[in-house]
Amino acid sequence: MKFGLFNLMSLRDNPDGVRGVISNTRQMIALAEDIGFDIAWFAEHHFNNYSLSPSPLVMCAHFAGVTKKIRLGAGVVVLPLYHPMRVAQEIGLVDQLSDGRFVLGVGTGYQIYEFERFNSPIAQKTEVFLEYWKILEQALTTGHASLDGEFIKAKDTVFTLRPRQAPMPELFVTSVDPRILKAVSKYDATPFLTAGWRGTKTLIEMAGNARKAWGAAGLGHRPMPFALQQYIHVTDSKEEALEAAERARFVGRMVMALRQPQVSLEGTFLNAPPLPDEPPLETFRDNLIIGDAHYVAERMAEEVRLLNPVHYNCFFQFGDMPIGRALRSLERFGSDVVPLLERAVGPLDAIGKVGAEGVAAA
């Protein structure tokens, strides 16, 4: 099992605005690389303060030049929002720029507001994805691509820019539609799930549903790899724990608002009302992994035993959390939590192996 650092890059109350969010991201990734994290992931979202990362490929290209070991992941390329002939070249270029450290995550997206502004039909996002994937797959693996599809028609084209990694970079996918799982299965794509603020219980339910989709895709004869994402905050302070929970609630409210047909903005800042039947702040804290090092390690050990993930992605600086607290939490994760977790579950390299218990072997 490897660790990832997720970078959503929300803007809320950062005293230095956009520049401050970018600076914070650099500091978090530098520390994660020092600690030994495997991948730094970058989100893709558009047109509001929910995320300042409109292009994970641009972010990966930048960090290819300022990091040495940590791999750089697109988490994820929302494929229906791209022209596949262009994004195929950009993926090849980023993998070359990073000397083969690029990790490709792909997904269908979910935010109506984004799809409308890119004039992409969200109701047909899966069908669009599947056509675009055919072009992307051809370009990355063979250097040629052509398609006479419903949503795109591409003349036979030769691609000079191809990934350094063959046949393509390590692949993750956020959709569990059986059609998509089947389409990406030849590249051993890893399903990647997050339950957001709902935490462990919902994550386990989602993993079970993913397992059913895996079977529906005709992949039941193969163990399903699994990657998860969780909010993590290491603190001994009950007050800081609740403050972290409030930051997570802020993100959860924005996610819900962006799923709606109508979005309310003040300038570029999203107006995100309380969630329907929103629970008290303590529920957010308890659903997520927020607490002292022993508590965080115990909660993570529970998830590892139940889900057997190959990759555990950690969301540390959520809701534009003050950088000092986020760095302190990440530092304590490396120095205090990881040794406790290994003591509880054994060597992390053995987690996620084929034949072990949990979702991966179900």
Q: What is the DSSP string of 68-127?
A: SSSEEEEEEEEGGGS-HHHHHHHHHHHHHHTTS-EEEEEE----HHHHHHTT--GGGHHH
Phi first, then psi, for residue 270 (nearest 5°) are: -75, 130
Q: With bands split at pLDDT 50, 70 and 90, how would you rate the model's confidence at 362?
A: very low
SS3 3: strand
pLDDT of 354 reads 54
Please report how many Cα atoms fall inside a 13 Å half-sphere around the Cα of residue 185, on the Cβ side: 20
pLDDT of 77 reads 98
Phi first, then psi, for residue 68 (nearest 5°) are: -125, -40
Does residue 72 register a pLDDT over 80? yes
> Rounded to an integer, what distance in angstroms lies between the CA atom of residue 250 and that of residue 318?
9
Does residue 110 register a pLDDT over 90? yes
Question: In this structure, are residues 60 and 42 in contact, taking their beta carbons and an 8 Å threshold?
Answer: yes
Does residue 358 register a pLDDT over 60? no
Residue with tokens 């303060």: 49
Q: Please choose, from the candidates 199, 184, 193, the residue with its C-alpha nearest in 3D space to the C-alpha of residue 360.
A: 193
For the residues 197-212, what does the mean pLDDT come to?
Answer: 97
For the residues 99-127, what does the mean pLDDT come to?
Answer: 97
For the residues 331-341, what does the mean pLDDT come to?
Answer: 98
Percent of the chain topping pLDDT 90: 97
> Rounded to an integer, what distance in angstroms lies between the CA atom of residue 186 and that of residue 172?
12
For the residues 126-141, what does the mean pLDDT come to?
Answer: 98
Question: In this structure, are residues 157 and 144 in contact, taking their beta carbons and an 8 Å threshold?
Answer: yes
For the residues 228-249, what does the mean pLDDT come to?
Answer: 98
Q: 278-296 pLDDT, tens per residue?
A: 999 999 999 999 999 999 9
For the residues 217-237, what does the mean pLDDT come to?
Answer: 97
> Rounded to an integer, what distance in angstroms lies between the CA atom of residue 108 and that of residue 226?
18
> Rounded to an integer, what distance in angstroms lies between the CA atom of residue 319 and that of residue 245?
10
Averaged pLDDT score across all residues of the chain: 96
Question: In this structure, are residues 194 and 221 in contact, taking their beta carbons and an 8 Å threshold?
Answer: no
Any idea how long the chain is? 362
> Rounded to an integer, what distance in angstroms lies between the CA atom of residue 12 and that of residue 37?
26
What is the 3-state composition of the chain as percent helix, strand, coil, each rounded to the nearest 5?
A: 50, 15, 35
Question: What are the chain's domains?
Answer: 2-361 (3.20.20.30)
Q: With bands split at pLDDT 50, 70 and 90, how would you rate the model's confidence at 334?
A: very high
Show Cβ contacts of residue 245 under 8 Å, excluding neighbours closer than 6 positions: 281, 282, 284, 285, 288, 290
SS3 67: coil
For the residues 161-174, what does the mean pLDDT come to?
Answer: 98
Question: In this structure, are residues 4 and 38 in contact, taking their beta carbons and an 8 Å threshold?
Answer: yes
What tokens were used for 271?
A: 């107006």
CA 81 to chain centre: 17
Question: In this structure, are residues 35 and 334 in contact, taking their beta carbons and an 8 Å threshold?
Answer: yes
pLDDT of 361 reads 44
Does residue 148 register a pLDDT over 50? yes
Does residue 360 register a pLDDT over 70? no
For the residues 306-311, what does the mean pLDDT come to?
Answer: 97
Q: With bands split at pLDDT 50, 70 and 90, how would you rate the model's confidence at 353?
A: confident
Q: 12-67 pLDDT, tens per residue?
A: 999 999 999 999 999 999 999 999 999 999 999 999 999 999 999 999 999 999 99
CB count within 10 Å of CB 158 equals 9
Show Cβ contacts of residue 124 under 8 Å, excluding neighbours closer than 6 positions: 151
> Rounded to an integer, what distance in angstroms lies between the CA atom of residue 268 and that of residue 305?
42
